[in-house]
Amino acid sequence: MEVRHLELLRELRDRGTLGAVAEATFRTPSALSQQLRTAERELGVALTEPASRGLRLTWAGQMLADGADDVLGAIAALQARLDAGKGEPSGVVRIGTLPSAGAALLPGVLARIAGSLLEIDLQDFDLAEADYATRTADVDLVIGHSLISDVPAGAEHLFTQVVAREPIDIAVPAGHPLAGRTTLSPADVVGETWIAVPAGYPFDTVLQAIEAATGERARRIVRIRDNRLVESLVSEGLGIAMLPRFSTPPSDAYRLLPLEGVHAVRSIVALARHDRVQRRAVTAVLEMLEAEGRRVSG
């Protein structure tokens, strides 16, 4: 039984198709098929079978794919012990982050690693909550978020660590009648026009909680993901919106007001496959993320 075969089966479990695995690992589907056939000959059991999407794991393939997590985790832990004996953490750590959390945390992390042997390879993506877990196949750490749990939906089988908690405020145009308030309640925003996020995105749970508390349906004139665009629309007086407190820049065109009466604090969470978080370099960066989370939280 070879580690590379276990890795392939895990990738096929997580990504669903040979084509997706080939694209992610820079190999051809034919090369991966050959590797599967070799593994089946060596193990004496079928690992995949035809399915509507091409291939699916057999019971044996599924068992080995699940067992790969333990095997690769043990190898990573052994590598971490070896790395600890070599001194300062080093190497590239690949991070995928939602932009708003990255804006709050990553400038400080990048400043911390300056002059060290660590390097960060950064990707940004804005996803529905349930999609952050799938991106752990592509990077060492994913920075996601949730407003309903410390473990984002779909990440129950992964390593997760809350690195910050951030209030979600209501942004109102500077000339809006509510702009003079110090806080807002659900009743205060009944009848307002909302610049909202797509369904399935964490901020939408706050608006749903406001609807539940007031019994009134919120009027959403648009659903968009980009916070900078949200800020622009609020600044033009087109509606009110949810924006994160730490990563939203101050402006004379709008005000951020705390929301009381419903849960409006997001957990910013680092997610990773268990074997990847065993790396000393990844652990070092995770500690920096936590330190930055404490700093921005004040």
Task: Name the DSSP class of 184.
Answer: B
CB 64 within 8 A of CB 72: no
150 and 293 co-located in one domain = yes
Task: Name the DSSP class of 181.
Answer: -
156 and 288 co-located in one domain = yes
The larger pLDDT score, comparing residue 257 to residue 33, is at 257
> Looking at residue 238, which CATH number applies to its domain?
3.40.190.10
108 and 75 co-located in one domain = no
CB 58 within 8 A of CB 64: no
Q: How far apart (Å, rounded) are the C-alpha atoms in residues 237 and 255? A: 12
What proportions of the chain, in percent to the nearest 5, are helix, strand and coil?
Answer: 45, 25, 30
Residue 27 has pLDDT above 90, yes or no: no
> Looking at residue 47, which CATH number applies to its domain?
1.10.10.10
Q: Which of 105, 112, 78 is nearest to 3 (CA)?
A: 78
How many structural domains are present in the chain?
3
Q: How far apart (Å, rounded) are the C-alpha atoms in residues 120 and 129? A: 24
Mean residue pLDDT of the chain comes to 90
128 and 276 co-located in one domain = yes
> What digits encode the pLDDT tens for the residues 117-160?
999 999 998 888 888 998 898 899 999 999 999 999 889 989 99
User: HSE (CB half, 13 Å, CA atoms) of 238?
Assistant: 14
Of 45, 66, 83, the position where a domain reaches its end is 83
Q: Which of 33-37, 51-55, 185-189, 284-288 has the lowest mean pLDDT?
A: 51-55
CB 11 within 8 A of CB 21: yes
Task: Name the DSSP class of 138.
Answer: T
179 and 200 co-located in one domain = yes
271 and 154 co-located in one domain = yes
User: At residue 123, what is the residue type?
Assistant: Q
186 and 228 co-located in one domain = yes
The larger pLDDT score, comparing residue 19 to residue 232, is at 232
User: Residue 47 is encoded by which pair of tokens?
Assistant: 């690992």
Q: Give just the sign of the alpha carbon dihedral 184, 185, 191, 197.
A: positive
> Hey, which residues does 90 pair with through a beta bridge?
117
215 and 281 co-located in one domain = no
94 and 139 co-located in one domain = yes
Task: Name the phi and psi angles at 38, rounded to 5.
Answer: -60, -45
pLDDT at 80: 73
Give me the domain span that covers residue 95.
Answer: 88-163+267-297
185 and 260 co-located in one domain = yes
